[in-house]
Homo-oligomer: A and B are copies of this chain.
Amino acid sequence: MDGLTINEAATTTGWSSRMLRYVEREGLIAPRRSDSGYRLYGPEELQRLRTLRELLADHEVSLGEVGFVLRLSRDGALKSAVDGWLAARPRRPDDVEASDWLRFEQDKHERLLAEARLITTTH
């Protein structure tokens, strides 16, 4: 058996074995398995576990948040959706490609806005 078993990996990386399984379920580090299903951590996984630990300690970041960025990097549609939403951040409409759509939406909602006033105004 080449590769460390889970408790060995835990002691050399500073994680608990419980957390190594959690990290795996979070999609972050999945070591290969032996024929009988034992997790086998190679040098690469061990290194990544250490740097992951550093990452979480240095910045105020959670496992789940790193997992989410990983998910983004795999799901291109999701990434575009989120990035797209962020890209439309409040700024002045000098932006060429977005501006047409934005103007259209603004016009549309100017009317809705007026309607909303009528509806929500209680008198």
Contact = CB atoms under 8 A, between A and B. Distances in A.
Interface of A: 4, 7-8, 11-12, 33, 35-37, 43-48, 51-52, 55, 58-59, 61, 65-66, 68-70, 72-78, 81-83, 85-86, 88-90, 96-98, 101-102, 105-106, 109-110, 112-113, 115-120
A74 to B, nearest CB: 5
A52 B117 CA distance: 22
A8 B105 contact: no
11 contacts: A4-B113, A4-B117, A35-B118, A37-B119, A47-B102, A48-B90, A55-B81, A55-B82, A59-B82, A66-B85, A73-B86
- Determine how many copies of this chain the complex contains: 2
B43 A11 contact: no
A108 to B, nearest CB: 9
B69 A118 contact: no
Contacts of A105: 43, 47
Contacts of A106: 43-44, 47
